[in-house]
Structure 1
Amino acid sequence: MHGRAPSRRGAHRVGDGVRYLRYRYDAGSGKVFCLVEAPSKEAAAAVHREAHGLVADEIIEVEEGQ
């Protein structure tokens, strides 16, 4: 990601049961964090890759309330 990206709120549906809920760019580390609701890690990774060719360095599964 180039430049500075603000936090975004509101879900963005992208298909295959995958829904992007929030994005955050950390200027200190230069990393982007995405909160995604998906049926599996693989589905989240596939939609991300198909959207722009990039893949996450790491996908961490969490449960609501964590």
Structure 2
Amino acid sequence: MGIGQSTPDITIVGGGIIGCMLAWELTGRGMTVELLANSIVSGSVDAALAPFDPGRFS
């Protein structure tokens, strides 16, 4: 972490669907989260492995 920045409560390795949902849930509970991903977060490979119908949840 850089100067003036605090250490996060948790570091999540992986920006796939599970990592992103975990980060979202933990920040909703007031925790500070650092999300490490080696590419664009929630890329197309993750979307292909976990398809869903957005209309089903609306």
Structure number with greater CO (CA < 8 Å, separation at least 6) is 2
More strand by share: 1
Look at both structures and tell me which one has the larger radius of gyration over its CA atoms.
2
* TM-score (norm: length of structure 2): 0.28
More helix by share: 2
What TM-score do you get using the length of structure 1 for normalisation?
0.26
